[in-house]
Structure 1
């Protein structure tokens, strides 16, 4: 989940892009979240629109207890969805202040037993929205989620905002799960190389299309195809040229084609890699 709020207010949804030649996975989306002032998304319609352009599988991510409950209900209704659940790093300090951390974690662990919940996340660190007073709670929560992912054998999805060094340090100290994903990767070229060397997957969102994201495109350029995933982080981070409009899984093809251009590979080749990597990380839908 991003904290981005594009300028320009709420615009009409962008037109559907051309269908991808080979179906891919939206590795991280929030169908339970509507941006400020927007109408709630109809999950069935969002899925239908995505499938129509070659995005036939999605990972729905719930970032708090209510979102986790919603996610488990959604994955039971919609076969195109797998689930990810966690206490988001920006939620962790609040649980710490209320003294209900054990209860919140117990519920996440209970929901994580669902067969179609394949992701523990998004967890991690966010030093942009949470000040120094929340760092200890975030780091403790991150360590607990890492342990849960390893105990359950599920993939770990990491939210990392302005916390690159601590994210990598804690993963090293705790020992990363076998399947670790840097959701909405925001690091530089050097960090991308380190993550690849550690065996992590890097998931790129619409931010890679932004004009000021040269460093992110440099990071993408050095990432091998077998370590790549793609996502929307919808309803946030709408790819250019549609910034300011609501994001949704059907816009994944815009980012895929931009990624192919940066990598210098054919779109079908990238689609095949993205699909194969997703099923390697999450299993079959």
Structure 2
């Protein structure tokens, strides 16, 4: 169960530095990685899940939300969370997969499986779901909207958090949430908006989850959004193995690297890292509940 390297591998044609970044100075106040993909193998020596979680714990990352993006990875995520105290699960059909499933006539069946998984006690989020106008063109948008709205209803029915994937689709995502009605707990995963989107999130009590992108030199707008966001709505994530924070951009990412992102965020806000970590940890537990509840056995 803890070795997921067979599920999916990240391929780059050998162009990246695939060595693992050095381990950070551990956080004194532990936090959580609220969005990661442990099933995606990366690095010159891909780490199994047990090693990933041990490394994360040593860095001050108490637990993770393991995110599924299709039926197979959602089932795997739910099953891992059921037996691993450091893992909670999120389940969904990724918006970029929805058009292909709709064309094959299998989207409804996939969504039914997601609905069943979302009812399990350690599946605490439906996601990542949303809209992606970067990778999917006009011809696939109807399927994306249909899947997004279905995921919203699943989250509301099961009382789980909604994790949103929003790429080049800010206005449409907000319009959909307001039209359909957002779940009580809604998270913009890998927040990529500006101060205006941060203001809208604050107005509606939606959470902003910041990944390694907030540390990039060209992300001044993202840092401005962070600075304007209410502290009680701020979360941190890796989206590992993607979006590795500065100074390791482009290399494999993993939950143990959260301290680099959190420290960048604290510097942007001009506050002590322990203060920010305490706030983020409390926010994360409020969004997803306790990592100690609902384990099998």
TM-score of the pair, normalised by structure 1: 0.96
Superposed CA deviations along residues 104-163 of structure 1, whole A, max 9, x for unmatched, are 111111111110000000000001111110000001100010011000000000000000
Alignment of 1:168-183 (within 5 A): 168-183=174-189
1:27 aligned onto 2:34: yes
Q: Which residue of 1 aligns with 2:216?
A: 210
1:18 aligned onto 2:5: no
Q: Which residue of 1 aligns with 2:263?
A: 257
Q: Which residue of 1 aligns with 2:95?
A: 89
Alignment of 1:1-285 (within 5 A): 8-35=15-42, 40-285=46-291
Q: CA deviation at 1:76?
A: 2.2
Q: Distance in 1 between matches of 2:29 and 2:165?
A: 28
Q: CA deviation at 1:233?
A: 0.1
- Over the aligned positions, Cα root-mean-square deviation in angstroms equals 1.7
Task: State the secondary structure of the residue aligned to 1:203.
Answer: strand
* Contact 1:4–1:237 (Cα < 8 Å) also in 2: no
Pairs aligned (count)? 282
Q: 1:98 to 1:70 in 2, by over 3 A?
A: same
Task: State the secondary structure of the residue aligned to 1:247.
Answer: coil
Task: State the secondary structure of the residue aligned to 2:41.
Answer: coil
Q: CA deviation at 1:11?
A: 2.5
Higher relative contact order (CA 8 A, sep 6+): 1
Q: Distance in 1 between matches of 2:44 and 2:39?
A: 12
Gapped regions of structure 1 (runs ≥ 5) = none
Superposed CA deviations along residues 213-243 of structure 1, whole A, max 9, x for unmatched, are 0100010010111010000000000001101
After TM superposition, the runs of 4+ consecutive aligned structure 1 residues lying more than 4 A away are 3-8, 37-40
Q: CA deviation at 1:7?
A: 9.7
TM-score of the pair, normalised by structure 2: 0.92
Q: Which residue of 1 aligns with 2:4?
A: none
